Every structure is written in C-alpha cells, then in structure tokens.
Chain A
Amino acid sequence: MRKMEIIEGTAIQVEEQVEEQLEEVETHESESYAEWVELVDRIRLSETDGMEELYQLFSKGIRFYLCRQLGPQELDDKVHDTFVVVVQAIRRGELREPSRLMGFVRTIVRRQVAAHIDKVVHTRRDQIDLDSTVRLADPEENPEERAMFSQRTDMINRVLGELSDRDREILTRFYLLEQGQDQICSEMALSETQFRLLKSRAKARFGELGRKRLTHRALHAVIVRTSAALSH
C-alpha cells in the first residue's frame, strides 16, 4: 500500500513536470508564431530589415538542404534564387498563414530542387551529342577528404571483423542492405529495445576499437621513430 502511494506520488510529480514543460513549449511556440507574423508583415511591406532577417534566419538551412539534395555546384546562385522566390511569393500574398512560414519556405525549397532535377534531366537529353565522356561530379572533391574517407572505411572494415557475428549482421543489414528495424527484428528475433541497444553498442564498439587502433598505431609510430633514432 505504501509502495503504491509512493509510485502514484512519483507519477503525479512526473506528470506535473511534463505539463509544465508542455506549457513552456506552448508559450515559446506562441511567441515564435507572433514573431513569424511580424516578420511576414515587414516583408510584405518591403522593409529591408525584414528581408535581411529572413535571409539570416533561413539562408544556412536552405543552403544545407540544397547542397544535400543537389550537390555543391552553383550553390550560391541556387540559394539566392530560392530566397528571391520566397520573398516574391510572400509579397504576392501566397503565404496565407504567416505562422506557417517555415512550412512555406520548405515547400518552395523542395519545388526548387524538383525543378532543378527536371532541368538537369532535360539538359542531359539535349546535350548527349556534345561529349561522349563525362566525369561525374564527385561529392568529395578534396583529395584529402577522399583519402580520409578511404582511411576511415578501411579502419571500420577491419574493426568489423572484430565484432561478434550478431553485431556485424545487424550493422550489415541496417547500413548495407538498408533493411528497416521491423524487418531486422523480425528476422533476427529481436525486440525493438534489443535492436536499438545492440546497434548503439556496436556503434560505441566502433568508437572504442577505432580509438584503440589509432592509439596502437600512434604508439607503434613512436616506437619506430625511437628505434630509428637510437640506431643512429
């Protein structure tokens, strides 16, 4: 009986905390939405500081999204074009609910991506006679980055051999075969919790083994240098 009272008391405390946090979130969101409305009004009135604020708020996110979807080529131009489309659309009154400014910007950015891909496909079709050999743009342009990527891949490949068969299977299914959690759990007879724990443990194991290997390599390098120095 006493235990039940304690448990209920704890549950009530937790619920109170959750309620407080939710109220805090709702207050914060109300303030945010009010700010969106005010910002949109300033843009509609073509106030320069409004456009500057919009740019500062969204340019990095737009740049990130476009780079991730389309690559780094001509990124500045694409970001600028997207920003112009957003501003013009707001001024034309296409944003009916200012509180939905983020969703509105997201929609425009996605349309820009789709339009760009469509344009590339058509351009390629028209230009097929111009060049018979084309090198694809490598997302990792920097040779140093390529070397680092290759080193990391090699290290993880070696570390994979040191994992248990089960952990390695989970990682292979999830990352290489891109199987979802449900399928992996079903075929490997795992619960959701077991799956998440095993995946996290494997990820942590990578970090641990990777650090050990790097430390071993570093020590080995020191020993070799020391031996070389002593031999002279």
Chain B
Amino acid sequence: MFNGRPRGTHAVTMKIMPNRHPHQDLFEDYAFDRLSGNEAAGFEEHLLICEECQATLAKTDEYIQVMKAATAAFVAGHGRASLPRRGQDLRWNAAFAAILLLTCLTGLLSWRTPSGNPQAIPLDAYRGAPNIPQAAAGQPLDLKIDLKDIPPASGYRVEVVDASGRRVWFGGPPAHLAKGLPKGDYWVRLSTDSGEWLREYGLAVGESHR
C-alpha cells in the first residue's frame, strides 16, 4: 500500500488520453483498423486537435502504402515461393485441395450444362463512348480492357462490383468470368498489383439471349 491506496490503482495503463500523444505502435494499429471502439474513439478525439499526431499518422499511412507496394512487387517478382509459408503448409494444402475440388465440380457442371461461347466485351478507354458496354446475363464473359495509356506495372488486377459497390468478381487480366453475371449494372475496375486504382468502366448486363 502507498499513500493509503493500493498499488497499481492509478497505474498508467491508458495508452490514449485526449491530451497525451498516443503510443507510436497505435498509429499503425489505427491505420490497419485494429483498435477497439473505445481505443479508436480516444485516438480520433486526440487527432482532432493535435497537428503533430496528424502529421505522424500521415507519415504512417504513407509508409504503409509504400511497404504494401514494395512487398507486393517483391512477391510478384520472386513468385509465390516468397510468400510466408511457415506454419501455413497445412492451410495451403487444404486450400489447394478445396480449390482443386471446386475446379473439378465446376468443370463437371460446365460439362453437364453447356454455357455457350464467352462473350467478348471490349471496355474502351475513351470517354464519351457512344454506348455503355452491354452483356447478356448468365453468359460467360471475356472483358477486353484497353490498356492504352495505362502506366506500366508489375501486374494488374480486375475487380467487378455491382451497383452497390459489392465485389462480385476479382482476378488478374484476362478477365474471364466463366459464369457471367446476373442482370444489373456493374463497374469494372482496373488496378495495379499494389492496389493503385487506374480505370473504371461501366457494364450493363441485360436479359439472357439463350
């Protein structure tokens, strides 16, 4: 006991206090959205009035972006073997087995229910193109993306989202959607491997012509 109070009662356990700068580790935790609700609240309240911590967070954000891009480029340049494997062999094997099984099932279903030749859908780079690209629902799609004026990158990714922004397909080019898309309006987004967004195209999927 000390001063009539038990030891540790007022121990400095709070890392975040409105008038105190957060601990350095918390900036990355915040950037990765790993703080609890209360921790994030305290952190953001401090940020509202502290320019020093705003600058620190901005630098942290930049560092994370650069590290993401650099590690992605390293992995892309050195192949999948450079991805961490320790402790994940079982998971990778299970994942691989699941993918293989799914591929076999998909192939079997495709054989039993022919879906027709894929529709080639050119996605133009020019603004004001006369018509928004159209596709038939449920038909396989080959999205041909015009790479004119695209900055060079070690790799590209294609993401297809519906009108509410929900991802419905993701992969690298060529963008081959084996099962096509349901009827609706979509956005096709092109980005680099490191996540830098480059282009976005509209795509309207109408009634099936089967």
Contacts and interface: CB of A to CB of B under 8 A. Distances in A.
Interface of A: 12, 15, 18-19, 21-22, 25, 28-29, 32, 57-58, 60-62, 64-65, 68, 102-103, 105-106, 109, 121, 124-125, 128-129, 131-136, 138, 149, 152-154, 156-157, 160-161, 168-169, 171-173, 175-178, 180, 186-188, 196
B44 A65 contact: yes
B108 interface: no
Given A134-B201, A154-B70, 20 more contacts: A15-B7, A25-B17, A61-B48, A65-B44, A125-B163, A131-B127, A131-B128, A133-B124, A133-B125, A133-B199, A136-B197, A149-B66, A152-B70, A153-B66, A153-B194, A156-B67, A169-B86, A176-B67, A186-B87, A187-B86
Contacts of B17: 25, 29
14 contacts: A25-B17, A28-B19, A102-B48, A105-B48, A134-B200, A152-B66, A153-B194, A154-B73, A156-B67, A175-B71, A176-B75, A177-B83, A178-B32, A180-B32
Contacts of A58: 48-49
Contacts of A160: 70-71, 74
A188 B86 CA distance: 7
A58 B133 CA distance: 46
A22 B64 contact: no
Contact of B165 (A121, A154, A176): A121
Contact of A129 (B124, B132, B196): B132
Contacts of B73: 153-154, 157
A189 to B, nearest CB: 8
A60 B20 contact: no
Interface of B: 2-3, 7, 10-12, 17-20, 25, 32, 34, 41, 44-51, 54, 57-58, 61, 64-75, 77, 82-84, 86-88, 123-129, 131-133, 163-165, 185, 187, 189, 194, 196-202, 204
Contacts of A105: 48
Given A18-B12, A128-B202, A132-B202, A60 B51 contact: yes
A126 B72 CA distance: 36
A175 B86 CA distance: 17
Chain A residues touching B, majority SS: helix
Nearest to B73: A157
A86 B81 CA distance: 53
Most A C-beta atoms less than 10 A away, residue of B70, B127, B204: B70
B45 A176 contact: no
Nearest to B44: A106
Most buried by B among A62, A134, A153: A153
Contact of B75 (A15, A19, A103, A172): A172
A25 B54 CA distance: 22
Nearest to B132: A132
Question: Of B19, B51, B69, B132, which is in contact with the most chain A CB atoms at under 10 Å from its CB?
Answer: B69
Contacts of B12: 18, 21-22
A123 to B, nearest CB: 11
Contact of B41 (A103, A132, A135, A188): A103
A186 B54 CA distance: 32
A154 B152 CA distance: 13
Nearest to B87: A187
B67 A22 contact: no
A60 B54 contact: yes
Contacts of A102: 18, 45-46, 48-49
B17 to A, nearest CB: 7
B129 A133 contact: yes
Contacts of A153: 66, 69-70, 73, 194
Given A12-B2, A125-B163, A18 B51 contact: no
